Chains A and B, each alone.
Chain A
Amino acid sequence: MKDGSLLGIIRYDSKAFYIALILHLLIVVVLVVSVNFSERPVTAHKEVETVQAVVVDSQIIQAELDKIKKSEARKKQKEESRLKKLSDTTRKEEQKQRQAQEKRRLEEQRIADLKQKRLAEEKQRQIESQQLADLKKKKQALEEQRQAEQQRLSVLQKERQEEELARENAKRAAEEEKQKELNAQALRKKLAEEEQQRYLNSDKMKKLRSQYVKSIERHVGKNWIKPASANKDMFCNVIITQNRAGTVLSVKTDECKGDKAFQLSVERAVLKASPLPDAPSEDVFDRTVQFTFVGH
């Protein structure tokens, strides 16, 4: 729009010009029609009548006026009612809307609350979870510590056991050594004794001893006067000691199953038999002789 004139506008934008023109025309039409749209036939009539109006009496005009007034009142009322109605509906609608809004608000509030709550819960859960995790961690730490301690103890114990075992082994070894020595001693002693025994058991020694025992037996037997009460169930063990010359130094009655007379008789027998026969060899001599007297 170089010039800014109406024509320039039309040329520049004819389409918009025509749309604006039409719109204006339309508004005029609407305004005319709208004054009388409920009495359209009347309007038409009126136009016809308008020419006549000049000729019509005031009464009719009045009536017409009343009629218009009434219609306008009615219209107004209607409008008012409509408005009212519209207002009511709007109010209701608003209320409803408000209610819905309220409800929505509440719902939203609730949801928000819930959300909040859930959030809180979530947070709590997270806290707890955290705590739990911490606890677990702590526990694990403790467990590990315990295990470590146990490990340490077990190692210690093992060490101690090993020490003990070593000590025991040493002790046993020492004992075994000692026992071996003892056994060896016993063996030596036994061998020596066996040697002695072999010597003593040699035929010659046996014969000598047998002769010696026999001579003692005969000698003591001669001196033993059996009491009348003596019977086969009676016996007396008498242990004597003698010196090398055969003199009886002591007489001790050991086990004796017999009456007083029997015991007296055997004790007297060994005393009376003193000195006992001379031992034919030093090796068959014994300071201690045990006699067994049998009642027969």
Chain B
Amino acid sequence: MKALLTFTCILIYAWATPSYAILNVEITQGTEDALPIAIVPFYWDSKETAPDLSDFNVIASDLLRSGRFAPVPEDKLLSRPTSTENLDFSSWKVAGIDNLVIGSVRPAGNQQFAVKFQLFDVFKGEQLLGYSLTADASSLRYTAHHISDLIYQQLTGQKGAFNTKVAYVTVIRDKDTASYKLEVSDTDGFNPVTILTSSQPVMSPSWSPDGSRLAYVSFEKRRAQIYTQILSSGERIKVSEFAGLNGAPVWSPDGKKLAMTLSKDGNADIYVLTLKDKSLQRMSKHWGIDTEPTWLPDSRSLVFTSNRSGKPQLYKVDGPGAKPRRLTFEGSYNSSAEISKDGQKMAFVYKDKSAFKIATMDLETGVIEVLTDGPLDESPSFAPNGSMILYAEGQRAALAAVSADGRFKQRLVAKEGEVREPSWSPFLQ
């Protein structure tokens, strides 16, 4: 019996470890290369006079800007298939193009257009996405951004943020006078809308978490005041006009509070204003200058800039009365922090030697990654999906974007004058 058992065991063992064991290959070192994608220009599927379809070019530029895609330049496209009938994947395969997008636009009556697009996996020869969307002439660009979002989400697993907005301040100087404007545009800089114009400085725009309002600092009364303004109606409320500094308002993720810098008690410290009852809580108390607060996702902890150690560094405070803890030790100057929505990363201005650059810090590991080259980069702001950072670049103060991995940088549409303090909106409905 025992012998029988032993033999059975041997048999099982022999079965379990066949000599023809399949090869096992573990792949951990994939690339983070941009994904090759061919976006065939959308064609006008009608005998009527074609409208301007250039708005659909933003799909390629959106995807390119994210740093995660490598769209094939239009003049390098192998062919321009318009439907599944004339699709030949093999040539795209040979060219190493992973994905293919085709689309068409046709009139749908009532000044409307039917926009159809399909995303294909070239190597599997499968359709991954297929949509038919309705748009009018004014929303074609919006529709194109929306398509970018759908493709982005399908292929990266992250929600796309191409249909969001950015708020910023432009300054136009003319000899002795200056004109300040608070503007909101698409994240590629298109479609700017002026929210506020003033001959006095306007600063620090911050989005409410639902994207319906902005908080900002205005010196229109020749002193610092903090306002909140409803974007759709322009209606605004003055929420803070303490003596001295009233600066750097930031909406809490839960939308109930504004963190800000006040100097009413002597020097600049961090305070939290509860919007409902106007109650104020002091978050820092130090002879040094504490400013530029930013919230963590818990709507309770804050990170702020302080020069209490002699030079500006970033500190974290876990609530009213808690002792601030220093976060940055690398570099002589670290300021202007913003935390990603998932709370994993902090973007900030990092100075090494002589240049001010945009960097991120992994809040779990403390690892810092420098994303830009400077020399005068400032005011980083995360996309709501954390994939990109908008910032004000260089001496010219232009609006620029960098992918969160630093792989792709792009200066956005040139604006007249200086562009300061960009603030990326949350996801919009």
Interface set of A (CB-CB < 8 Å, partner B)? 179, 182-183, 186-187, 189-190, 193, 196-197, 200, 209, 212-213, 216-217, 220-222, 224-230, 239, 251, 259-262, 264-269, 271-272, 286, 288-294, 296
Contacts and interface: CB of A to CB of B under 8 A. Distances in A.
Contacts of A213: 23-25
Given A224-B30, A228-B68, A268-B123, A290 B24 contact: yes
B32 interface: yes
B387 interface: yes
B23 A228 contact: no
Nearest to A229: B157
B19 A292 contact: no
A220 B154 CA distance: 22
A246 to B, nearest CB: 12
15 contacts: A196-B19, A213-B25, A225-B31, A225-B32, A225-B34, A227-B158, A229-B158, A259-B157, A261-B155, A261-B156, A264-B128, A268-B123, A269-B30, A272-B123, A289-B24
Nearest to B33: A225
Contact of A291 (B7, B25, B68, B93): B25
- Classify the secondary structure of A's interface with B: helix
Contacts of B32: 225-226
B156 A227 contact: yes
Contacts of A290: 22-25
A264 B25 contact: no
A90 B14 CA distance: 136
B31 A271 contact: no
B347 to A, nearest CB: 16
Contacts of A230: 30, 157
Interface in B1-57: 4, 7, 10-11, 14, 18-20, 22-35
Nearest to A267: B124
A220 B25 contact: yes
A226 B32 CA distance: 6
Query: Which residue, of A213, A220, A224, has the highest number of chain B Cβ atoms within 10 A?
Result: A224
Contact of A225 (B19, B22, B30, B128): B30
B98 interface: yes
Nearest to B154: A261
A292 B156 contact: no
Given A224-B27, A294-B28, 9 more contacts: A186-B14, A190-B10, A217-B25, A221-B30, A224-B30, A228-B68, A239-B22, A286-B20, A290-B22
Nearest to A183: B7
A234 B294 CA distance: 31
A209 B19 CA distance: 13
Contacts, number: 127
B154 A296 contact: no
Q: Chain B interface residue count: which class?
A: 35 or more
Contacts of A268: 98, 121, 123-124
Contacts of A226: 30-32
Interface string B67-98: 01000000000000000000000000100101
B27 A220 contact: yes
Q: Which of the listed residues B11, B68, B123 has the most CB atoms from chain A within 10 Å of its own CB?
A: B123
A117 B4 CA distance: 87
Nearest to B7: A183
Contacts of B33: 225
Contacts of A259: 157
Contacts of A182: 7
A293 B32 CA distance: 14
Contact of A261 (B7, B19, B93, B157): B157
A224 B156 contact: no
B23 A216 contact: yes
A292 B35 CA distance: 21
A225 B68 CA distance: 9
A181 to B, nearest CB: 11
Which of A183, A264, A293, A294 has most chain B Cβ within 10 Å? A264
A237 to B, nearest CB: 9
Contacts of A197: 19
Contact of A289 (B19, B25, B31, B158): B25
A250 to B, nearest CB: 12
Contact of A292 (B11, B27, B387): B27
A100 B20 CA distance: 132
Contacts of B4: 179
A292 B123 contact: no
A186 B9 CA distance: 11
Contacts of A271: 123-124
Contact of B25 (A179, A183, A216, A260): A216
Contacts of A224: 27, 30-31
Contacts of B154: 260-261, 264
Contact of B11 (A186, A200, A221, A225): A186
Given A286-B23, A289-B22, A294-B26, A228 B158 contact: yes
B155 A227 contact: yes
B27 A264 contact: no
B155 A221 contact: no
A271 to B, nearest CB: 4
A293 B157 contact: no
